[in-house]
Each structure stands twice: as structure tokens, then as C-alpha cells.
Amino acid sequence: MEGHGDGRAVSNGIPPPPFALPYPDSPEVITANVLKLAELTKDSRKQFLFKNLLVHLHQFINETSLSTEEWMDAIQFLTRVGQKCTDIRQEFILLSDVLGASALVDAINNPPVQGGTESSVLGPFFTEDAPDVANGESIASEGKGDPMFVEGRVLSTDGTPIPNAVIETWETDADGFYDTQYATREKPDCRGRVRSDKDGWFGYRAVVPVAYPIPGDGPVGDLLVGTGRHNMRPNHLHMMVEAPGFRKLTTAWYPEGDGFLESDAVFGVKKSLVVKLEDVNDEAEARKRGFTKGSSFKLLKRDIILVSQKQSDETFKKNAEAAAKNAAA
């Protein structure tokens, strides 16, 4: 709470608006007044966003004749979403995911460019503490799941190898949990940071991903139950790839055959990201890739094609201009 040294409350220092506003005696005047005040926003982009948000919010309230009880339910729901967030759990991202907002923002901001690897949703389980993992090493500790080797090259759209690209990767264990979901988490597991070599190649040991439910112990889980939707995600391996001069790529690979590929709870699966896992049963190959036990493992082999920042900006601008033209029509 802000106040003077003597305990009095203080304003934020902004004076009244330089124009008169009528008393808000009707729904129409309330909306008009709020939109007029939004014009005080100095940043033109923020003003545009804020005014559009207000227009659609007020339109929704009017069109649905929202009751006071429904409004309070919504306030309490959003309050619970915020209260569920921690340093390693983001319930608001989860809410954005299940509403399709994350996928929509991703699709608009990362338009497909011919030949480039398509993007996918970030999800709520990315962390900043992934350890550096050398090529050929493992991102998962012993016993976390069935063995899998992931390899490929990082290339530009013209096929040029991209060396020293940073690849953040993370996944669940065989029980369908991310490391952050364990109360006993002491260090990162089933996640790591790999770099492509001089030829653009990367490779690391991991575990075969499994389908899993997104957290159902919070308000987003309640929302799915209340709207009759399942909370399952198909098995997948997350990746975030960065290299100078290229658009940052957040994506995931989804092994084929999963029953939830076409009804992903967070709308993250794109057809081009569905991959085939190869069955390898060769002891020599297993040892070559660093597996010390058994002779069988799954092989996920797929190149990552990065789009230059220039290509990305040009495509985004073209799509934005087309969207604006259609909106004005």
C-alpha cells in the first residue's frame, strides 16, 4: 500500500483527463468513456491493443448479458489461476494453452516459411536451469524410461549447416511427469542444453516420451472437466533452437501412432511435426551411442531447419498486411 510518511494514501500523480466525460448512466456511456480514456495511452501499439481488448470485452458482456454471479465466478477463477503459479509452474500459460490462445499467437508470429521446421507451443514446463549436455551424452538420469537417441542437423532453408546452434530440449519421464512436477526435485532431469557441431550435427540420449495429462489439480483442470474435455497431450519431445541471424524456433516432435495426436488438449500438434521412431536392435549401435545396457533403443532422426530472421520478418509483414486488409473489408 502506498502512502505518505504520515500514513495518508497517495495518488499515482496523474491528473484528471483533459476532457469532460458524461456520467456513466447507461451501458453505452460506460463503454464510450472507457474507450475515450484509453486514448490517453501514449504508446500507439499499446493503445491499439488496449482499445481492441476493451471493445471485445464489453461486447462479450453485453452479448451474453453477464450476470453478477458469473462475473464474480470469472474473477475468482482468474484469482485461483494466479495463486496456482509458482517459479516452476505457470498456470496462466496452461490456461492460454487450453483456450487455444498460445497456439494462435504462435501461428501468427511464426508463419510457416517454405522448408522451415514449423513451430509448436512452448507449454508451461520450460525452465531456465537446463544443464549443458555434450553431444552424445544424456539429458535423462538412469531409469527414467525406455532408451531413445535423438539426432539430426541444424540447417538453413538452403541446406547450409548451422554450427553452434543452442538446442534446449525437455520431456517427461516414463511416468508422464516433468521434473518440475516432483516435490522432491533437486536438479533438472529429462532436460538439457545441446549445441550443434561445426557440421550442424547434434545428438543426445533421451527417453521415449509418453502421452500424459496436463495438470488437473488446479483451476485449468477444473475448467476442462467442466467443459467436457480430456486433459491429455500426445507424447512429444520439446525443443527450443537459437542461432544468430535466425528466428528463434520453439517446436516439438510428436512420434506417430499416439491416440491423442488429433485431439491434443493444447492444440500443439502440426502434421509436419509428427515423426517416426525407428526400432534399433543392435548391441554395437547401442554402445556406439552410449547406451551401457541392452541392445535395443528407439532412434529419432530429424533435421531442424531454421528460418532466417529476414525471411521471418518478411513473411510476418506480408501476413499482417493481408489480415489488416481482410479486417477492413
Q: Is residue 201 part of a domain?
A: yes
**Residue pLDDT, tens place only, 2-31:** 666 678 999 999 999 999 999 999 999 999
**Contact by Cβ (8 Å): 143, 173:** no
CA–CA dist 328, 26 (Å, integer): 29
* 108 and 253 within one domain: yes
CA–CA dist 83, 197 (Å, integer): 43
* 235 and 303 within one domain: yes
Structure confidence at residue 329 (pLDDT): 66
Q: Is residue 78 part of a domain?
A: no
Section 87-108 average pLDDT:
94
* 253 and 106 within one domain: yes
Q: Whole domain around residue 41: which residue ranges? A: 27-66
* 46 and 189 within one domain: no
CA–CA dist 61, 34 (Å, integer): 14
Q: Using alpha carbons, list the distances in angstroms from residue 180 to 129, 135, 173, 281, 323.
A: 11, 24, 11, 32, 39
Structure confidence at residue 5 (pLDDT): 66
Q: Is residue 73 part of a domain?
A: no
**Residue pLDDT, tens place only, 222-242:** 999 999 999 999 999 999 999
* 169 and 302 within one domain: yes
Section 142-159 average pLDDT:
97
Question: Looking at 179-183, 230-234, 251-255, 273-277, which range is the least confident one?
Answer: 179-183
Give me the percent of the chain exceeding a pLDDT of 90: 87
Measured in whole angstroms, the distance separating CA 111 from the mean position of its chain's CA atoms is 15
* 297 and 183 within one domain: yes
**Residue pLDDT, tens place only, 187-206:** 999 999 999 999 999 999 99
Whether the predicted pLDDT of 62 surpasses 80: yes
Where do runs of H (alpha helix) occur along the chain?
27-38, 44-64, 68-84, 91-98, 101-109, 219-226, 283-288, 309-328
Confidence of residue 114 (pLDDT cuts 50, 70, 90): confident
Structure confidence at residue 3 (pLDDT): 60
Structure confidence at residue 7 (pLDDT): 84
The C-alpha cell that represents 176 in the structure block: 508422464
* 257 and 194 within one domain: yes
Confidence of residue 319 (pLDDT cuts 50, 70, 90): confident
Structure confidence at residue 35 (pLDDT): 98
**Residue pLDDT, tens place only, 262-310:** 999 999 999 999 999 999 999 999 999 999 999 999 999 999 999 999 9
Domains: count for the chain: 2
* 267 and 131 within one domain: yes
* 126 and 60 within one domain: no
Structure confidence at residue 317 (pLDDT): 87
Section 233-255 average pLDDT:
97
